[in-house]
Amino acid sequence: NNDMPFYSSLTDSNPEDIYEAIEKESDDEFLSWTHHSIRSTMPSDFGFYDEDINTMAEIYSCHGSCECCGKDNLYTQAQETEGDGYSIRDALKMGRKFGLMASGDSHDGRLGHSISHTNARALNQQPSTTAGYRYGTPYPNGLTGIYSDTLDRNNVFKALQKRSAYATTWINRHYIEFSINGLTVGINDSTLQVPKVDSTREINILLCADGVSLKPNKKIKIEEVEIFKNSELWILYENLDESLVKITVNDTSLITGTEYEDCIKRDDGKWYIHERSIKPVDPDDLDTDGADYYYVRMQDSEGGAAWIGPIWVEVS
């Protein structure tokens, strides 16, 4: 909709009220996703979830990564929260079906090529500015790659709606393909159905390094590939030093699913996903309903990364 009225973030206090207001002014075709979900000053509340609207989650921005908290986070945040229930890994355990994307929040007006992390920022800008968001950010912005025949508005929207996308850090536009038994992200709700709990899952990954380096006479290579299963590291391929990587691996272990087990009970007798959540939940509903999920993380030779997935596997 091109004619949405101005809507202040101060008008309502939770996502459900905002979604209701947008629905009244639109054709009910809109998306919403989390931003810097583990930032302590404004963390996420994955107690709120609408599978038709919340199809993606931002795993990286100029603030860092929200994949997880702690030492396994590739890009830690200056104001990173502590505790469970804020990260994308935890949200996936809750049964939230998010695809992975990356974006900016640089506020410098340079879409896809932010300069807010460089010396070309507020202190160097002419005319001068006192805008706080121009005084630098910890990291360059991220980019979202989508699978689409064209980059028109409708197809970009549809790709994000069905999770047919992946996330990269700036500046590299690495190319990635990821499938399980031939099913790719964005197809059939990114969900593969198999007949038995021990059915073979053939995982195929293709990674092509962009190669563009900010250093003279250098080419970026793929250094490390990790496959995560149910938010835990499953397989690690390291010291690759390749421009093109193809991986095929089978999983024949039992499909068990996973669940989020760190809810807290407050004095009101209700359960919440973490201490700052305002949305009561039923802990018995915070699981993958028996499905396993897989996603891939790649690291390159100059500190960049990319993520794709998840793909869910359930017994039909």
Q: Mean pLDDT by 10-residue block, N- to C-terminus, for the chain (316 residues)?
A: 79 87 85 92 94 97 94 92 95 98 83 72 60 69 95 96 95 93 98 99 98 89 98 99 98 99 98 97 98 99 97 98
Full DSSP string of 21-83: HHHHHS-S------SSTTBTTS---TT---TTT--EEEEEETTEE-S-SSTT-SS--TTB--S
Q: How many angstroms separate the CA atoms of 34 and 133, rounded? A: 19
Q: Are 36 and 269 in contact (CB under 8 A)?
A: no
Question: So what's the pLDDT on residue 288?
Answer: 99
Question: So what's the pLDDT on residue 12?
Answer: 78
Closest by Cα among 237, 267, 262 to 249: 237
Q: How many angstroms separate the CA atoms of 134 and 225, rounded? A: 34
Q: Are 104 and 133 in contact (CB under 8 A)?
A: no
Q: How many angstroms separate the CA atoms of 66 and 86, rounded? A: 8
Question: So what's the pLDDT on residue 188?
Answer: 98
Residues pairing with 259 in the sheet: 287
Q: Are 280 and 288 in contact (CB under 8 A)?
A: no
Q: Which residues contact 26 (CB under 8 A, 6 or more apart)?
A: 1, 4
The token duo for 27 is 């054709």
Residues pairing with 176 in the sheet: 207
The token duo for 77 is 């945040």
